[in-house]
A and B are shown apart, each in its own frame.
Chain A
Amino acid sequence: MSIRERLSGNEAAATAMKQINPDVVAAFPITPSTEIPQYFSTFVDNGLVDTEFVAVESEHSAMSACIGAEAAGARAMTATSANGLSLMWEMIYIASSLRLPIVMSLVNRAVSGPLNIHNDHSDAMGARDAGWIMLFSENNQEAYDNTLMAHRIAENKNVRLPLMVCQDGFITSHSIENIELLEDDKVKEFVGTYKPEHYLLNKDEPIAVGPLDLQSYLFEHKAMQAEAMRNAKQVILDVAKDFEKMTGRKYGLFEEYKLDDAEIAIVCMNSTAGTTKFVVDKLRAQGIKAGLLKVRVFRPFPVDEIANALSHLKAIAVLDKADSLNAAGGALFEDVTSAMYVNNIHVPAVNYVYGIGGRDTKADDIESVYNDLSEIVKTEKIDNPYRYLGLRKEAQK
């Protein structure tokens, strides 16, 4: 029996960490993820976990401490947002290249500047090529569930990569909602104990971690990282299958919402997918064949699966909550359209940059995207594939 509760997204993430009971948590507080290490430190103080909590002086040190702990053979976790992730920058690449399965809760927030503490995905998108597995969460439930699945994926011997669980800052991190929790012993059994193959504190096998790696082999090591990322896809599905057996909650690489018979669809991530479901239901009631593809696994990117799932549509819109400022499309749009191109699938596609710096995304905004898609289907014309959603009128060119 699951436990019916109501928690904020931050409480959900902290609760998952409590039940996982990692060996080490090293964190430095930053809005809106601050509450996660805050709650977790009370669990430590109250003796609810055995974790060594390292209150570091910066995020660079937080990630460094996690790297040290994982290399030593321990299970390490952290949480951060936006500029906190920026300050970890040097170390997040080191974590992935040393193949250390650290798990991080990333509560998405705009990277400054100008200074902004609200939600968008510019922090996560900045880290998309850092070699971390990236899972996105629509709500508190998914932030909790993804965190519970994280170690099984990251620590798998065919993967051994760090993993970040993303959720939207404030929108879900600070919203109280219903959630189904698992009992502590069930989580413990599901997550299992960490048994690293090679680690620094193994006296029977002295090893060096992170030595100089120049022209002769760095390339091969990067190729191995890429191979691990490819392997992660099947492992993510296998772990999801086990999770479904335990909870009844089904997870894939992405969620298809009324997509089967849809003619027009939106592709997006995190909390906006929930608002989009609300709009899809409304449009379906009016006989409009609208659908949604919600990306859960952004890294590794499910190239063939997403291309195939979108192949029957008459038009799609990809929503990016971060602007790549590249005079072209956002990161998700580029990945989706590239996936379709290499699979020889052509569906008219448009990109909307939206929700920057916490600009609220209303149901009406989402509905306007579906209206645009209907227009594209009717006229068979796309005047400009790179668009904004919710930008003030006076700023539109």
Chain B
Amino acid sequence: MDNMIEIRWHGRGGQGAKTASLLLADAAFNTGKYIQGFPEYGPERMGAPITAYNRISQTPITIHSNIYEPDYVVVVDDTLLESVDVTSGLKTTGAIVINTTKSKEYLTKALKGYSGEIYTIDARKISEEALGRYFPNTPMLAAIVKVSKIMTDDELLEDMKGSFKHKFAKKPEVIDGNMKALEMALKEVKKVQ
């Protein structure tokens, strides 16, 4: 029970938060863990707020509910900070990782004084530089792995290389870009001091 890490993803429909949670589950599975990856299904619409979840554990997972007291929260779209209570139940011993370029003052206020660690990353910049398009999920995946230390950087890169090869078998040209996005994100995710 104690060794279980619980993660909640907040994104908007179409940004790949669900896919990112499934990729994280995949990567953790490949390092020998027990995993759950599941979205909260609602009326799915492009741009609507969506939630996805991960449980990662050394031992089998039996619980089958949504996650109410996550260890980590990932916010894929910072416009959600205004409308969704993203720190709801978030453990103060955990952390929140946000795709944003907003100031510390703004974030402190938007997170209602959340006293745990806050990390930011500019996933838009990374994605546009590495992929030429805005797909925030790949950098956010790397960011949460870095912050939560679910696996080492090398384990993630090694595993994702295999996944991308499989996923993008018909368009191999995007594999390098995605790998570059991961590498950049691992370096650029920063703790708000």
Q: Interface on A for B, CB 8 Å cutoff?
A: 6, 117-118, 138-139, 168, 170-172, 174-178, 271-272, 274-275, 277-278, 281-282, 360-363
Are B65 and A175 touching (Cβ within 8 A)? no
| CB-CB nearest in chain B for A361 | B65
Q: Within 8 Å CB of A117, what residues of B? A: 41
Whole-angstrom CA separation of A282 from B37 in the bound complex: 23
Residue from the list A170, A174, A363 in contact with B65, Cβ < 8 A: A363
Q: Report A110 CB to chain B, min CB distance, Å.
A: 13
Question: Are A274 and B41 interface neighbours, CB within 8 A?
Answer: no
Query: Are B36 and A176 neighbours in the complex by a CB distance under 8 Å?
Result: yes
B39–A139 CB distance below 8 A:
no
CB distance from A21 to the nearest CB of B (A): 25
Q: Which residue on A lies nearest to B68, using beta carbons?
A: A362
The A-B contact count (CB < 8 A) is: 60
The answer to whether residues A176 and B22 also contact, given A6-B29, A281-B1 and a CB cut-off of 8 A, is yes
Are A176 and B68 CB-contacts (below 8 A) given A6-B35, A274-B63, A282-B1? no
CB proximity of A74 to chain B, nearest CB, Å: 35
B135 within 8 A of A: no
Within 8 A of A (CB), among B1-36: 1, 22, 25-26, 29, 34-36
In the complex the two chains form, is B37's CB within 8 Å of A274's CB?
no
Most buried by B among A6, A168, A272, A277: A6
Contact residues in B for A118 (Cβ distance below 8 Å): 41
Interface size on B, residues (CB 8 A): 20
A8 (CB) vs chain B CBs: closest residue: B38
Residues of A within 8 A of B1 (CB): 278, 281-282
B48 within 8 A of A: no
B25 touches A176 (CB 8 A): yes
Most buried by B among A271, A278, A282: A278
B166 CB to nearest A CB, Å? 14
B59-100 interface code vs A (CB 8 A; 1 in, 0 out): 011111110100000000000000000000000000000000
Q: Name, among B26, B38, B64, B66, the residue most crowded by chain A CB atoms within 10 Å (CB to CB).
A: B64
Which residue from chain A places its CB closest to the CB of B43 in the assembled complex? A117
Nearest 3 CB-CB pairings of A with B: A175-B38, A271-B64, A274-B62
Minimum C-beta distance from B35 to chain A (A): 6
Q: In whole angstroms, how far apart are the Cα atoms of A275 and B64 in the complex?
A: 5
Report the minimum CB–CB distance from B151 to chain A (whole Å). Answer: 15
Question: Contacts A282-B1, A362-B68 known; A275 to B62 CB distance under 8 Å?
Answer: yes
Q: How far is the CA of A360 from the CA of B65 in the complex (A)?
A: 6
Tell me if A177 and B36 are in contact (CB < 8 A): yes
Across the interface, do A178 and B64 meet the contact criterion of CB distance under 8 Å? no
Q: Is there contact, CB below 8 Å, between B63 and A177?
A: no
The distance in angstroms between the C-alpha atoms of A271 and B66, with both chains bound, is: 12
Residue in chain A with minimal CB distance to B26: A6
In the docked arrangement, what's the CA distance between A117 and B63, Å? 22
Q: How far is the CA of A175 from the CA of B55 in the complex (A)?
A: 11
Which residues of the other chain, B, contact A172 by a CB distance below 8 angstroms? 64
Q: How far is the CA of A302 from the CA of B109 in the complex (A)?
A: 58
Given contacts A274-B62, A278-B62, contact A174 B25 (CB under 8 A): no
Closest chain A CB from B87 CB (angstroms): 19
Tell me whether A178 and B60 are in contact (CB under 8 A). yes
Contact A171 B64 (CB under 8 A): yes
Is A360 within 8 A of B38, CB to CB?
A: no
Q: Please, which residues of chain A bring their CB within 8 A of the CB of B61?
A: 177
Bound complex: CA of A176 vs CA of B64, how far in Å?
12
What residues of B have a CB within 8 angstroms of the CB of A171 in the complex?
A: 38, 64
Q: How far is the CB of B185 from chain A (nearest CB, A)?
A: 22
Report yes or no: A277 in contact with B62, Cβ–Cβ below 8 A.
yes
B34 touches A175 (CB 8 A): no
- How many angstroms from the CA of A174 to the CA of B86 in the assembled complex? 23
- From the candidates B39, B60, B62, B68, name the one contacting A174 in the complex (CB within 8 A): B39
Taking a contact as CB atoms under 8 Å apart, the answer to whether B60 and A176 are in contact is no
A-B contact pairs, 24 of them (CB 8 A): A6-B25, A139-B62, A168-B64, A171-B64, A174-B38, A175-B37, A175-B64, A176-B26, A176-B36, A176-B37, A177-B34, A177-B35, A177-B36, A178-B35, A271-B64, A274-B62, A274-B63, A275-B65, A278-B1, A278-B62, A281-B1, A360-B66, A362-B65, A362-B66
CB of A104 to closest CB in B, whole Å: 22
